[in-house]
Amino acid sequence: MSFNRLEAEDFVVSAQAQTQTCWTNNLPTLTSFFTQSNQVAGETGNYYVTVFDQNPTGSAAAAQFEIAYGNSTGGGALAFNQTAAPGVSPASTIFGQYRTLVLEDENSGFVFGGVTGSSIYALSIERAAYKQALFPGSLNLTLSSSIGTGNNTLRLTDDSNMVNIPTYYGTMRAYQVISGSDGYSYNSGSGGSGYTTDSGSYGLFLPDIGTVLLNGDALDLNSAQGLNLSTITASNTNANNPLKLLGTIQSGSSFGLNSEETITSDFVFIRARNSEFNYSENPSYISGSTGEVIYNYFINNPQTYITTVGMYNDSNELIAVAKLSKPLNKDFTKEALIRVKLDF
């Protein structure tokens, strides 16, 4: 077997960003939303609701995201022990968890477009679904509610296409959630921010942790700006707030979101010069008894068909194999340049 040593100039490293939908089966928009009764009624249901793309009684159903409700004072959920620790509840636990994760400060509050909020809804995308991060500008979430008067609909996106630099919490990027689509507010051309008048933005888009934090105060506004969601914030109350938000998502029936991932590729350029690799070592090429070329035609006109490239280390151990899409004819009148791509 003949070997050619690869040189440094034969290797090129490239990094490319790739984006794709977050949803199972590569659905560009999620339109159906289901829960599992056992999960909702179980212990984890006190903290969050898992949302599936299909009825979870079927084997094809897959979890897509979770909805949790958090409140700085613990309202909207039953306290663990109202007498010994009033206000300490699953809602306060969720709020504290995201406050620590995002703000890295146990005393700060979430600021939504300049307004501090104490009531949040967290949409946490399944970890395997968002790859490296969520893709800014891809959030398109429709919420619809018939609570109160009329049918209230909100179409939310992030403001990534309206800002030059995102807000950073440590190394974590954050964008405001606004009324609009594809990273722009509906009135961005006239300088509109897509915020509410008094409650700031509709939330925070946190691509690096695959989370959308929605501002409960903004969702509770009347139909002119909000959903009349009527989030229950009373203490020691089993309010089922996550199911309220889920109802608006189900009624809106449109949730678009993409992931992004940087793929590092090694390109290896394999060169076969005109004088190389023109003879085959395939047993059908040479007589086993005499060691001579079986077909006389190949004596004066030797040629091969390259189908596979093997790459070896210095110990002659095979470490990678590349297959050509079709055999490549090689003889003394031809040179071959084969580009092998290794993705990591």
pLDDT score of 105? 87
pLDDT at 52 over 80: yes
DSSP code of 59?
A: T
Strand partners, 335: none
* pLDDT on residue 84: 93
Helices then strands (H, E): number in the chain?
5, 20
Query: Does residue 254 come out as left (phi exceeding 0), alpha (psi in the -120 to 50 range) or beta?
Result: beta
Chain centre to alpha carbon of residue 133: 5
Mean pLDDT along residues 60-76: 97
**pLDDT > 90 in the chain, percent:** 78
Quote the CA–CA distance of 320 and 267 in Å, as a whole number: 13
Note the pLDDT of residue 278: 86
At residue 272, the pLDDT reads: 92
pTM: 0.79
**What is the mean pLDDT of the segment spanning 93-99?**
97
Domain ranges of the chain: 8-16+263-343, 23-256
How far is it, in rounded angstroms, from Cα 295 to Cα 280? 12
Confidence of residue 300 (pLDDT cuts 50, 70, 90): confident
- Mean pLDDT, range 134-154, rounded to an integer: 85
DSSP label of 34: B
* 1-5, 7-11, 229-233, 325-329, range with the lowest pLDDT: 1-5
pLDDT at 89: 97
DSSP letter string, 205-233? EEGGGTEEEEEHHHHTS-TTTS-------
d(Cα 338, Cα 332) in Å, to the nearest integer? 17
Q: Are 318 and 311 in contact (CB under 8 A)?
A: yes
